[in-house]
């Protein structure tokens, strides 16, 4: 346990010092007491101790300033708190978090499993006796039994799933005011969709163009957001969008940092 979190007094001392630093030089002990959740008398005692320890300098009635030593101490304490927080979120909570995966084979509760991403979904495979956890990029421990194809619970995650982000191709079609897409554009749509893992549409004209080449889009709602999420899971995505609405699609893609091209 880091020193600043060793006990309530140490934690309160840290918070009082931070409040002084934020409010200096005019420091209201009543405001600090309200912010920290202690009495004004307690704040007065903390400030007196901080002054005696050289972390705070008194400059007049209700006027205090954090010294250089106080700044250094606060930075060190804040770094300790940050490291402890990272330990809790990454090491403690990260290991007890439970997630779901599709079992690729029969798995028993307590089995060590290797994790992979397939078709945009997390999959879990039992680690066989002749394998080692070092051979898998990411592993976990099954929390439920499952047969092949069933959902299995997984916890105790270690490593990172080996995943290459997918790409998004945005193909434009004209609005109904501008006429229907020509044969060349329809041929482009058909060719692009043939090699895509997922096809989505934005706008009625886009849905119509896709259906004219025998493709039903997976969705025609929030196409940009869906494409971005799918690409982040390694899928190759085609978005067919009305020319006037391409900006809404690319805004969603740009916000998530997904690689895309517009044609």
CB atoms within 10 A of CB 242: 22
219 and 238 fall within a common domain: yes
Confidence at residue 95, expressed as pLDDT on a 0 to 100 scale: 54
CATH code of residue 72: 1.10.10.10
Distance CA 46, CA 263 (A): 65
Cβ 225 vs Cβ 156: under 8 Å? no
Q: Which of 109, 139, 159 is the last residue of a domain?
A: 159
DSSP string, 174-213: --GGG----HHHHHHHHHHHHT-SEEEEESHHHHHHHHHT
Asked if 73 and 146 sit in the same domain, the reply is no
Q: Are residues 150 and 214 in the same domain?
A: no
Q: Are 236 and 198 in contact (CB under 8 A)?
A: yes
Same domain, 76 and 111: no
| 3 contacts 10 by C-beta, under 8 angstroms | yes
* DSSP at 53: T
Q: What is the pLDDT of residue 1?
A: 41
d(C-alpha 16, C-alpha 8), whole Å: 12
Asked whether residue 128 falls in the same domain as residue 179, the answer is no
Distances (CA, A) of 99 to 44, 96, 122, 124: 48, 10, 9, 11
Q: Where a domain ends, among 93, 109, 142?
A: 93
pLDDT in tens, the chain (263 residues): 446 776 788 888 899 999 999 988 888 888 999 888 889 899 999 999 999 999 999 888 888 899 999 898 888 888 878 877 776 666 555 555 788 999 999 999 999 999 998 988 999 999 876 655 455 678 889 999 999 999 999 988 888 787 788 899 999 999 888 888 899 999 999 999 998 999 999 999 999 999 999 999 999 999 999 999 999 889 999 999 998 889 999 998 988 878 899 99
- Same domain, residue pair 54 and 77: yes
- Tell whether 75 and 105 lie within a shared domain: no
Question: How many CB atoms neighbour CB 195 within 10 A?
Answer: 9
Buried b (16+ CB within 10 A) or exposed e, 174-192: beeeeeebeeebbebbeeb
Q: What is the number of domains present in the chain?
A: 3
Q: Are residues 154 and 174 in the same domain?
A: no
Pair (183, 220) in one structural domain: yes
- Geometric angle at alpha carbon 23, from 19 and 26, rounded to 5°: 125
CATH number at 189 reads: 3.40.1010.10
Domain match, 66 and 115 both: no
Are residues 107 and 89 located together in one domain of the fold?
no
User: What is the three-class DSSP state of 234?
Assistant: coil
Cα gap 94→215, rounded to integer Å: 41
Range of the domain at 80: 3-93
**What span, in angstroms and rounded, lies between the C-alpha atoms of 30 and 136?**
57
- Measure the CA angle with vertex 161, ends 158 and 238; round to 5°: 155
Whether residues 131 and 178 share a domain: the answer is no
């Amino acid at each position: 346990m880091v020193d600043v979190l060793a006990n309530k007094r140490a934690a309160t001392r840290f918070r009082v010092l931070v409040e002084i630093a934020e409010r200096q030089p005019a420091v209201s002990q009543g405001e600090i007491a309200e912010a920290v959740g202690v009495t004004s008398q307690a704040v007065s005692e903390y400030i007196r101790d901080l002054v005696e320890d050289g972390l705070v300098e008194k400059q007049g009635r209700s006027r205090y300033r954090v010294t250089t030593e106080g700044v250094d101490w606060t930075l060190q304490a804040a770094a300790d708190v940050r490291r402890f927080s990272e330990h809790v979120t990454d090491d403690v909570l990260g290991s007890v978090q439970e997630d779901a995966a599709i079992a690729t084979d029969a798995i028993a509760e307590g089995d060590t499993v290797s994790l992979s991403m397939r078709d945009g979904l997390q999959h879990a495979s039992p680690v066989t006796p002749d394998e080692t956890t070092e051979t898998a990029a990411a592993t976990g421990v099954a929390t439920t039994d499952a047969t092949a194809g069933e959902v299995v619970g997984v916890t105790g995650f270690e490593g990172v799933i080996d995943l290459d982000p997918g790409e998004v191709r945005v193909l434009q079609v004209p609005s109904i005011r501008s006429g229907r897409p020509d044969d060349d554009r329809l041929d482009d749509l058909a060719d692009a969709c043939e090699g895509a893992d997922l096809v989505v549409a934005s706008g009625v004209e886009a849905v119509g163009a896709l259906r004219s080449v025998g493709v039903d889009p997976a969705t025609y709602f929030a196409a940009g957001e869906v494409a971005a999420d799918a690409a982040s899971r390694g899928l190759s995505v085609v978005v067919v969008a009305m020319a006037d609405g391409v900006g809404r699609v690319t805004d969603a893609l740009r916000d998530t940092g997904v690689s895309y091209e517009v044609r």
